Amino acid sequence: IPEFMRILLDDWELSWEQSWDITSKVMSYTNHTILAEALEKWPISLMKNVVPRMFQIIEEIDRRYVLSMSAIHSDELIQRTRIVQGSTIHMAHLAIIGSHSTNGVAKLHSDLLKSVVLHDFYVIFPDRFNNKTNGIAQRRWLQLANEPLSKVLDDTIGHTWRQDSSNLKLLMNYQKDTSVLAKLAAAKQTKKIELADFIEANTGIIVNPEAIFDVQIKRLHAYKRQLLNLLHILKQYFDLKDHPEKRIHPRVYIFGAKAAPSYHYAKSIIKVINEVASLINHDATIHDQIKIIFLPNYNVSLAEKIIPAADVSEQISLASKEASGTSNMKLMLNGAITLATLDGANIEIRDAVGDENIVIFGLSEAQVYAYYENKNYSSIEIYEKNPMIQRVLNAFINGEIPNIEQEGREIFDSLLTYNDEYFLLRDFDSYCTAQSRIEQEYQNSTDWQRRCLINIANAGVFSADETVQQYADDIWHIEPLFAHESK
């Protein structure tokens, strides 16, 4: 925004009023995070030294904002929303003030922006706020990544879905067609065998393609709760160790994640997942009923191998923290069943497929905010009352998991000494119950495939084509240009 203003002011020699009118009409702001630490703030001293002209323009935008609002709103509201506050520049404030539109990327996210995160700005600019739920490139994540499934769709509903993903809905007519369900199952099995071969070639670990492939692939962050997944795996492992005669449907837990370079806690979680994997994968007493695969260097190419093979899609962030998520959409499109909290676009997936075709657990956004308001969450209390949680958490510090002395203590303390910021222990029992439901429902192959079909059929609404069209219609106000072949 200030750079565009500089071009108009300095290079084109327009007046401030002309420049601001053009800038605010051109600029629109899409917010992608609810986390306060991700809403950038920069020191004035740094900006003055690095981009002094930018700072001059930002300072003037701030001055004029305060002046324009002084006759309309209270001084307290203006001071909370101004761009320059003390020794800091608030970049999100600059984005909102300098834009004609502010949107979130899922319905819940947009509602939270209005009610909590950016509420002061919603009071000032209510007409600017809107929602545009994220979408995915379905040509990449289905047509390119999953040829076997694409062929089943072509043979069943024709080719029109390739251009218009809303036509995936035609698949709903085949819910009771056992031959179609069998073809879907065969396509999934083909991709599971391919992934199993890839895993063996790249890690040396042999996994059973008949197992449930349980997938969590996303940036490693505490709020996304890869650690909750690991806590359940440890519970399952200890159950098998305590009851050697017990048999479960084999499960392969697949992780793909990178941590930000300076995010020490996330790197500790990666280290611990890998050490638990080493422990479990080499324990012959559990008869290969659980395997953990943490695939290194997670990227799009790797995702294209994992997603078509997934049976279960882990979308387990603490409710209210995930803006939208898109791996949930990619996995749904490829026929995985979503195991989820009511967060981000998971809510819209549930609305699209129905409660019986998704597995929901955990606190709601309202319950999370009630804990914040009442300040009555106690992880120690949960720990003291739950023997299984004690068993699992103690494993981080008692030597049961080798080679994690520092990382294990860091994680243990984060959950108990620092009161479990993302409520893993509160959601633990609910999550374990949901995982048991997955185990039980997977046994009915025909019904499981029917639910996979319903997920695929209803994934068209999450196409990026649809999302871009909404941006074009509601925010950018532009018409498409059609290219014509030359004669």
State yes or no: is 450 an active-site residue. no
Of 56, 64, 103, the closest CA to residue 82 belongs to 64
State yes or no: is 433 an active-site residue. no
Q: According to the model, what pLDDT value does residue 382 have?
A: 99
- Looking at the DSSP assignment, which residues form a beta bridge with residue 89? 42, 84
Which helix (H) or strand (E) is 94 found in, with range?
helix 91-97
Q: Token pair for residue 22?
A: 């053009």
Catalytic, out of 64, 162, 169, 219: 219
What CATH class has 138-461?
alpha beta
Q: What is the pLDDT along the chain (487 residues), one digit of tens a residue?
A: 999 999 999 999 999 999 999 999 999 999 999 998 889 999 999 999 999 999 999 999 999 999 999 999 999 999 999 999 999 999 999 999 999 999 999 999 999 999 999 999 999 999 999 999 999 999 999 999 999 999 999 999 999 999 999 999 999 999 999 999 999 999 999 999 999 999 999 999 999 999 999 999 999 999 999 999 999 999 999 999 999 999 999 999 999 999 999 999 999 999 999 999 999 999 999 999 999 999 999 999 999 999 999 999 999 999 999 999 999 999 999 999 999 999 999 999 999 999 999 999 999 999 999 999 999 999 999 999 999 999 999 999 999 999 999 999 999 999 999 999 999 999 999 999 999 999 999 999 999 999 999 999 999 999 999 999 999 999 999 998 876 665 5
Catalytic, out of 90, 93, 218, 221: 218
SS (H, E, C) 185-253: HHHHHHHHHHHHHHHHHHHCCCCCCCCEEEEEECCCCHHHCHHHHHHHHHHHHHHHHHCCCCCCCCEEE
The alpha carbon of 483 is separated from its chain's Cα centroid by a whole number of angstroms, namely: 35
State yes or no: is 224 an active-site residue. yes
State yes or no: is 330 an active-site residue. yes
State yes or no: is 73 an active-site residue. no
Q: Token pair for residue 466?
A: 């649809």
Q: According to the model, what pLDDT value does residue 17 have?
A: 99
Domain ranges (residues) in the chain? 2-101, 138-461
CA distance 448 to 181: 9
Angle between helical axes of 346-353 and 445-457 (0-180°, round to 10) = 110
Catalytic, out of 224, 225, 426, 451: 224
Catalytic, out of 235, 330, 426, 451: 330
Q: According to the model, what pLDDT value does residue 355 have?
A: 98
Catalytic, out of 23, 81, 156, 326: 326
Torsion of CA 195, 196, 199, 200, to 10 degrees: -140
